[in-house]
C-alpha cells in the first residue's frame, strides 16, 4: 500500500491510498476555498449521561447533487471536486461539513453548569471514497481494492487515535437513500470522537460484569457459543466468523468477528487482513441477493449500514474488534422503520427471526 498525504485549498488533509508503490499524487486543489468554521459542540444529557453532538452548520452540506456535480468524483474536464486528481483508487479527506472538528474550541466555549454541561465538539470527521467509479458499490470491488480500503481504515485508525482528545475511532458506511445517504458516490465515513459513545460504554459495562462473574471474556465466550450454533452461522473462514446474533435487532443483521480477539484494526495480523476482503465481499453480495430485482430492472442494491466497533483508547480492554452489518429492508418493497417503541424506548421488535435470516443469507445466490 502506497500512501500520499496532501492538503486541499482550505487546509483540510487529503490522503490517497494506492496499490502501486510509485504512485504520484501531486495535483493541487485549485478551488478558491476559504477555511470553514466549525460550530460543533457536545452537550451532556443529564438524564441518560450520554453526549449529544450539536452541529447546526451541517444544514448547508451538499444534498443529493446531480451525478455530474458529485463532489467525490475525480476532478475532470474542468470540473473541480474534493479530489484534485483525475483518477484515484481510495481517497480519504477531512469532511468540509463535519459533525466534529479540531477547530471547534475557537468558536464554542465550554460550560459547566450542573444540568447544562457543554464542550466544544473537538474531534475529526473524514470521508472515505472507496473508488473513483461513481456508479459502483463496495460490493463491486475486487479483493485487492477491498484490501486497500481495509488498509486505509487501519491507517486512519492509527493516526486519528493518536490525536489529542480523541477517545474512540469509528469507521462506517451508509449505503442507500433509505438509510439517509445524501451522496450517491460509494463512500464511507470515519468519526474520531472526543467521548466514548453510549453503545460502546454499555458494551464495556457488560464485558466487565461478565469478567467479574465468570473470569472470562464476554466476546470470546460469545464467539465460541455462536460457532456452536450452526443455525445462525453465515460464513466461516480460517480467521473470521460471520453470524446472525441471537438477539438481532434488525431484519437482516450479521456480525463479523476475527477468531482471535483484538482491540482494533491496527492489531490484525497479515493472514487476518488477507482473508477479510473475500469474506466481506461475499457478505455484501449475499445482502444484495436477498431481494432480487424484477426482470429487466437494474440490479438490486440492498440499503445497509456497516459499522466497525473498536475499543476506545483507554478503558476498553475487554472489547473485541468486530463489524456489524445490517439492513433496514425487511421484505421486497418494505422497510423496517423505527417506530415509537424503538425510537422512544430503544426496545427493538424484529419481523424476521435470527435463524430465518441466517438461513436466507446462507442460501442467497451470489450471482
Q: Kindly report, residue by residue over 157-193, the tens digit of the pLDDT.
A: 999 999 999 999 999 999 999 998 999 999 999 999 9
CA distance 204 to 101: 26
- Report, as an integer, the average pLDDT of 338-358: 94
Strands, DSSP E only, in 237-346?
A: 240-243, 252-258, 304-309, 322-327, 329-331, 334-335
CA distance 101 to 95: 9
The domain locations on the chain are 2-195, 199-363
The alpha carbon of 47 is separated from its chain's Cα centroid by a whole number of angstroms, namely 28
Residue carrying C-alpha cell 454541561: 117
Q: Looking at the predicted structure, is the pLDDT value of residue 107 above 90?
A: no
Q: 270-289 vs 143-161: helix axis angle to the nearest 10?
A: 120
Q: For residue range 313-334, what is the model confidence (pLDDT) as tens digits?
A: 999 999 999 999 999 999 988 9
Report the pLDDT value the prediction gives residue 353, as an integer from 0 to 100. Answer: 97
Sequence length of the chain is 367
- Report, as an integer, the average pLDDT of 103-108: 88
DSSP string for residues in 260-307: S--SSGGG--HHHHHHHHHHHHHHHHHHHHTSPPPTTSPPP---EEEE
Q: By three-state DSSP, how is residue 179 classified?
A: helix
Catalytic residue (choose from 187, 210, 239, 309): 187
pTM: 0.96
Q: Looking at the predicted structure, is the pLDDT value of residue 60 above 80?
A: no
Q: Looking at the predicted structure, is the pLDDT value of residue 28 above 90?
A: yes
Report yes or no: 194 and 121 within 8 Å, Cβ to Cβ.
Answer: yes
Report the pLDDT value the prediction gives residue 229, as an integer from 0 to 100. Answer: 83
Q: Looking at the predicted structure, is the pLDDT value of residue 360 above 60?
A: yes
Taking the CB of residue 128, how many other CB atoms lie within 10 A of it? 23
What does the block give as the cell for 110? Answer: 465550554
**Annotation marks residue 64 as catalytic:** no
- Percent of the chain at pLDDT exceeding 70: 99
| Bridge partners of residue 174, in order along the sequence | 305
CA distance 328 to 59: 25
Report yes or no: 22 and 2 within 8 Å, Cβ to Cβ.
Answer: yes
Q: 270-289 vs 354-363: helix axis angle to the nearest 10?
A: 100
Which fold, 2-195? Answer: HIT family, subunit A (3.30.428)
Report yes or no: 233 and 227 within 8 Å, Cβ to Cβ.
Answer: yes
Q: For residue range 63-85, what is the model confidence (pLDDT) as tens digits?
A: 789 878 999 999 999 999 999 99
Q: Looking at the predicted structure, is the pLDDT value of residue 22 above 90?
A: no
Strands, DSSP E only, in 89-136?
A: 90-94, 111-113, 116-120, 124-129
CA distance 272 to 240: 7
- Report, as an integer, the average pLDDT of 117-121: 96
Identify the weakest region by mean pLDDT among 98-107, 264-273, 282-291.
98-107
- Percent of the chain at pLDDT exceeding 90: 87
For the segment(s) 199-363, the CATH number from 3.40.640.10, 1.10.30.50, 1.10.565.10, 3.30.428.10 is 3.30.428.10
Q: Looking at the predicted structure, is the pLDDT value of residue 274 above 80?
A: yes
Where residue 153 falls among pLDDT bands split at 50, 70, 90? very high
Q: Looking at the predicted structure, is the pLDDT value of residue 366 above 70?
A: no
Mean pLDDT of the residues in the chain: 94
Report the pLDDT value the prediction gives residue 365, as an integer from 0 to 100. Answer: 59
CA distance 136 to 130: 9
Is the Cα dihedral 161, 142, 270, 253 positive or negative?
positive
Report yes or no: 232 and 204 within 8 Å, Cβ to Cβ.
Answer: no
- Report, as an integer, the average pLDDT of 137-142: 97
Q: For residue range 196-212, what is the model confidence (pLDDT) as tens digits?
A: 999 999 999 999 999 99
Report the pLDDT value the prediction gives residue 38, as an integer from 0 to 100. Answer: 82
Amino acid at each position: 500500500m502506497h500512501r500520499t498525504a496532501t492538503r486541499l485549498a482550505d487546509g483540510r488533509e487529503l490522503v490517497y491510498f494506492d496499490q502501486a508503490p510509485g504512485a504520484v499524487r501531486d495535483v493541487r486543489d485549485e478551488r478558491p476555498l476559504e477555511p470553514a468554521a466549525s460550530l460543533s459542540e457536545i452537550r451532556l444529557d443529564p438524564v441518560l449521561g450520554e453526549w449529544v453532538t450539536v452541529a447546526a452548520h451541517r444544514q448547508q452540506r451538499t444534498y443529493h447533487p446531480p451525478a455530474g456535480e458529485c463532489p467525490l468524483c475525480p476532478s475532470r474536464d474542468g470540473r473541480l471536486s474534493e479530489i484534485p486528481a483525475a483518477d484515484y483508487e481510495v481517497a480519504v479527506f477531512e469532511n468540509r461539513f463535519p459533525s466534529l472538528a479540531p477547530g471547534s474550541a475557537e468558536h464554542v466555549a465550554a460550560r459547566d453548569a450542573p444540568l447544562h454541561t457543554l464542550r466544544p465538539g473537538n474531534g475529526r470527521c473524514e470521508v472515505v471514497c472507496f473508488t473513483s467509479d461513481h456508479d459502483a458499490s463496495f460490493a463491486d470491488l475486487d479483493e485487492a481494492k477491498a484490501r486497500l480500503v481495509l488498509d486505509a481504515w487501519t491507517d486512519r485508525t492509527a493516526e486519528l487515535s493518536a490525536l489529542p482528545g480523541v477517545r474512540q475511532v469509528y469507521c462506517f458506511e451508509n449505503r442507500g437513500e433509505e438509510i439517509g445517504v445524501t451522496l450517491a458516490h460509494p463512500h464511507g465515513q470515519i468519526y474520531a470522537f472526543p467521548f466514548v459513545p453510549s453503545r460502546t460504554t454499555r458494551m464495556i459495562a457488560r464485558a466487565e460484569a461478565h469478567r467479574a462473574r465468570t473470569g472470562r471474556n464476554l466476546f470470546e465466550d460469545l464467539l465460541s457459543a455462536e460457532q456452536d450454533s450452526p443455525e445462525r452461522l453465515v460464513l466461516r473462514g480460517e480467521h473470521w466468523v460471520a453470524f446472525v446474533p441471537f438477539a438481532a435487532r434488525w431484519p437482516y443483521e450479521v456480525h463479523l468477528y476475527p477468531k482471535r480477539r483484538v482491540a482494533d484494526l491496527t492489531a490484525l495480523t497479515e493472514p487476518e487482513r488477507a482473508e477479510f476482503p473475500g469474506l466481506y465481499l461475499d457478505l455484501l453480495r449475499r445482502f444484495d441477493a436477498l431481494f432480487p430485482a424484477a426482470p429487466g430492472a437494474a440490479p438490486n442494491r440492498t440499503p445497509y449500514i456497516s459499522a466497525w466497533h473498536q475499543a476506545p483508547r483507554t478503558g476498553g480492554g475487554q472489547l473485541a474488534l468486530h463489524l456489524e452489518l445490517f439492513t433496514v429492508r425487511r421484505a421486497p418493497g418494505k422497510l423496517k422503520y423505527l417506530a415509537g417503541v424503538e425510537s422512544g424506548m430503544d426496545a427493538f421488535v424484529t419481523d424476521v427471526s435470527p435463524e430465518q435470516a441466517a438461513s436466507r443469507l446462507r442460501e442467497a445466490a451470489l450471482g
